[in-house]
Amino acid sequence: MINTSENDRELDLIEYSNWSLVKDIWKFLKPYKGRFFVASFARFISDIASLYPAYGFALIVTFFSKYEAGESLGYFWLVTSILTVAYAVKYIARYLGKYFGYQVSERVALDSQIKMISHLSALDIAWHEKENAGNKLKRIQKGSDGLDKILRMWINNFIEIAINFIGMIFILSRFDRLVGVTMIVFLVTYFVISFFLLKRASAVSQEVDIMDEGISGLMFQTINNIRSVKVLAMAERILEMIKNQITRLFGKIRQRIFRFQIRATVLNFWAIVFRIGTMILIVYGIAHGNYAVGVLVLFSGYFSSLAESVDELSEITQELIICKYGVARMSRTLSEPILIDDEEGKVSLPRDWKKITIKDLAFAYGKNKVLKNISFEINRGERVGIVGLSGAGKSTLLKLLLKENESFEGEILFDDLPIKQISKKSFFDQVGVVLQDTEVFNFTLRDNITIASENERGEADLERALDIAHVADFAYKLPSGLDTFIGEKGVKLSGGERQRLGIARAVYKQPELLFLDEATSHLDLESEEKIKDSLHKFFQSVTAVVIAHRLTTIREMDKILVIEKGEVIESGKFDELYGAKGRLFELWEKQKL
């Protein structure tokens, strides 16, 4: 079963008001308000023109009900001419409304996707670790689709329905107030019934939305980890999980369909009752000479349009609710605070910093203390190695040094400047990183190496990076060399080749401060020896912090820190620590075996 507990807190989205929806739509619509108002005005003119045909036919019927042979047909031709103009205005204005309106809706949808990607990329890693990647993609899709559909509904449906309700009731009231009042009573009772029947349907719609995100998340993970799924024969079990969740989802969808259809049926029945009752009233008036025959034609034409509008409103309300909660969940994500990436009030990292000081650094995941009052210094130009068993706290320390999480106690200082006060952009202008698992894109090999550097560099810099990371050993064997697309997640490369790509990416950036997290763990011994020699030459021009599993990679470091259970238990040069026959000595001897 998929755990949706992370989404339980979002059930309060049922309280996301229509006014909140309008404000969120306006944020995206504002840059295109001119074109949007043109589209809305064109549709308004089109629907105003649509009111005339039924009125015109009523006039013609009334005219001929009193017409006698030989009388002038001038009035008939006048009304017919106006009818022709009304139809022309209706269709031309409708075309213009859709032409401009659809452009705006598509642009707004695309802008919302860009906004979501931008915001997601700025949110802290701690937030991303709690959220499913598939859910995030689903929110982008549903949010942008929701905005697009709502704006299309405005152009295609809402303006027309409003004009029909207001315009037709006004015209009918001009003929007879009783008929107009009857229509007003119909609309008021319709909306009251609609409101009460909509509340339960909306709640079920929200549940469907959350369950759908959970299933999308599981599907995304299945595709994203397809190799593990295949080699570990997990497909059948995962498929069964998806089927079970889809069965539950369909049960909720069936509830949603049932509630919306019950609502539509009740409302349509109410419309039929009023239509028949009002027709009887008008026929009675005609029989007693109170109304002209044209009033029945006018009412019949208008009520047909009103009934269609009522039915249309009933149908699009369901779609509107679905779109509303898609936008609501997108809005919820966009309201998540950006903490670490927030540049306001932060300063740039000075280019001439001299020392990094870690003082009484402590960090915990919940109640689990991972780092316990760690203190050490890194002088500019130093090469520092960090070793320890798995779970000792090495990777957590790296996360804090990389500004991935700032909810720590103690201090990380660049000279006297706290890392929390440094803007992330200026920080990473000077920082290069090689992660244990190099993440790559389905770009060319060249683009995967150069993408991390904002500054355009020459081919000489690229060749230097290829040489240091020994990427050239395999790059020019690829079908198109550096311009070969390496597949999603770099599937066309081996683990060692992906790791070398990561090293080349960091070298190409030419950082002042370089972090390496188990950067050679996927390499064979021969490749590691080659790269180790090249890296140590590169280290001469940077400040390097190396987390190492293979201790041979940190033997020549200026300083080695041994971390165990979240504490620094040894610190010094390799020869000193090895000679002391402490924890480093034990780790070294075990790796020799």
Write the DSSP assignment of 49-113 as a string of letters: HHTHHHHHHHHHHHHHHS--TTS--HHHHHHHHHHHHHHHHHHHHHHHHHHHHHHHHHHHHHHHH
If asked whether residues 284 and 385 sit together in one domain, one would say no
pLDDT bracket for residue 105 (50, 70, 90):
very high
**Taking the C-alpha atoms of 274, 280, 283 and 288 in order, what is their torsion angle to the nearest 10 degrees?**
-120
Residue 454: both structure tokens together: 């904002």
- Spatial distance between the Cα atoms of 532 and 550, rounded to a whole number of angstroms: 11
If asked whether residues 491 and 550 sit together in one domain, one would say yes
Domain CATH code at residue 524: 3.40.50.300
Tell whether 357 is covered by a domain: no
- Spatial distance between the Cα atoms of 335 and 333, rounded to a whole number of angstroms: 5
Closest CA to 136 of 160, 119, 152, 151: 119
How far is CA 518 from each of CA 52, 149, 398, 510, rounded to the nearest angstrom? 77, 48, 11, 20
Higher local confidence (pLDDT), 435 or 567? 567
Residues ≥6 apart with Cβ < 8 Å to 122: 338, 341
- Spatial distance between the Cα atoms of 345 and 424, rounded to a whole number of angstroms: 12
What confidence score (pLDDT) does residue 4 get?
43
| Residue 398 and residue 334 in contact, taking contact as beta carbons nearer than 8 Å | no
Residue 83: both structure tokens together: 């009818």
Q: Write out pLDDT tens, residues 454-466.
A: 777 778 888 988 8
Angle at 255 between CA 253 and CA 259, to 5 degrees: 120
Identify the bridge partners of residue 412 per DSSP, sorted by sequence position: 358
If asked whether residues 46 and 154 sit together in one domain, one would say yes
What confidence score (pLDDT) does residue 232 get?
60
If asked whether residues 388 and 529 sit together in one domain, one would say yes
| Residue 545 and residue 515 in contact, taking contact as beta carbons nearer than 8 Å | yes
Tell whether 363 is covered by a domain: no
**Taking the C-alpha atoms of 120, 122, 126 and 129 in order, what is their torsion angle to the nearest 10 degrees?**
30
Tell whether 364 is covered by a domain: no
What confidence score (pLDDT) does residue 195 get?
74
Identify the bridge partners of residue 363 per DSSP, sorted by sequence position: 371
Backbone φ and ψ of 342, nearest 5°: -70, 120
Element (H, E) at 578: helix 574-579
Closest CA to 326 of 79, 112, 573, 562: 112
Give me the helix-helix angle, 293-334 and 18-29, nearest 10°: 80
| Residue 524 confidence (pLDDT) above 70 | no
If asked whether residues 435 and 289 sit together in one domain, one would say no
Reported in sequence order, the residue ranges of 524-587 that DSSP labels E, i.e. its strands, are 543-547, 559-564, 567-572
Reported in sequence order, the residue ranges of 406-472 that DSSP labels E, i.e. its strands, are 409-414, 417-418, 431-434
3-class SS of residue 511: coil
- Spatial distance between the Cα atoms of 315 and 275, rounded to a whole number of angstroms: 19
Q: Which residues of 347-368 are buried (b: 16+ CB within 10 A; e: fewer)?
A: eebeeebeebbbeebebeeeee
Residue 440: both structure tokens together: 């790559």
If asked whether residues 97 and 218 sit together in one domain, one would say yes
If asked whether residues 308 and 390 sit together in one domain, one would say no
Greatest mean pLDDT range, 222-236, 273-287, 375-389: 375-389
What confidence score (pLDDT) does residue 567 get?
92
Segment 361-382 mean pLDDT: 91
Quote the percentage of the chain above a pLDDT of 90. Answer: 29
What confidence score (pLDDT) does residue 41 get?
97
**Domain edge (last residue) among 334, 351, 369:** 334
| Residue 519 confidence (pLDDT) above 70 | no
| Residue 382 and residue 543 in contact, taking contact as beta carbons nearer than 8 Å | yes
| Residue 361 confidence (pLDDT) above 50 | yes
Residue span of the structural domain in which 268 resides: 5-334
pTM above 0.75, yes or no: no
If asked whether residues 55 and 181 sit together in one domain, one would say yes
- The number of domains in the chain is 2
| Residue 486 and residue 449 in contact, taking contact as beta carbons nearer than 8 Å | no
Tell whether 114 is covered by a domain: yes
If asked whether residues 319 and 430 sit together in one domain, one would say no
Tell whether 179 is covered by a domain: yes
Domain CATH code at residue 93: 1.20.1560.10
Greatest mean pLDDT range, 266-275, 310-319, 528-537: 266-275
Q: Write out pLDDT tens, residues 59-85.
A: 888 778 777 777 888 888 998 999 999
Segment 431-448 mean pLDDT: 86
| Residue 225 confidence (pLDDT) above 50 | yes
Tell whether 582 is covered by a domain: yes
If asked whether residues 327 and 438 sit together in one domain, one would say no
| Residue 301 and residue 110 in contact, taking contact as beta carbons nearer than 8 Å | no
Tell whether 313 is covered by a domain: yes
Residue-averaged pLDDT of the chain: 84
- Spatial distance between the Cα atoms of 431 and 433, rounded to a whole number of angstroms: 7
- Looking at residue 153, its amino acid is M
| Residue 6 confidence (pLDDT) above 50 | no
If asked whether residues 296 and 387 sit together in one domain, one would say no
How far is CA 354 from each of CA 56, 418, 421, rounded to the nearest angstrom? 86, 14, 17
- Spatial distance between the Cα atoms of 400 and 479, rounded to a whole number of angstroms: 40
If asked whether residues 299 and 387 sit together in one domain, one would say no
Identify the bridge partners of residue 411 per DSSP, sorted by sequence position: 359
Tell whether 368 is covered by a domain: no
**Domain edge (last residue) among 295, 318, 334:** 334
What confidence score (pLDDT) does residue 177 get?
81
What confidence score (pLDDT) does residue 522 get?
60
Closest CA to 221 of 121, 133, 131, 117: 133
What confidence score (pLDDT) does residue 300 get?
77
pLDDT bracket for residue 2 (50, 70, 90):
very low
- Please give the distance of CA 53 from its chain centroid, rounded to a whole number: 46
How far is CA 435 from each of CA 103, 370, 553, rounded to the nearest angstrom? 43, 20, 15
3-class SS of residue 365: strand
Closest CA to 316 of 100, 154, 95: 154
3-class SS of residue 22: helix
- Spatial distance between the Cα atoms of 404 and 401, rounded to a whole number of angstroms: 8
| Residue 11 confidence (pLDDT) above 70 | no
Annotate 341-358 with DSSP letters as a single string.
T--TT-BPPPTT--EEEE
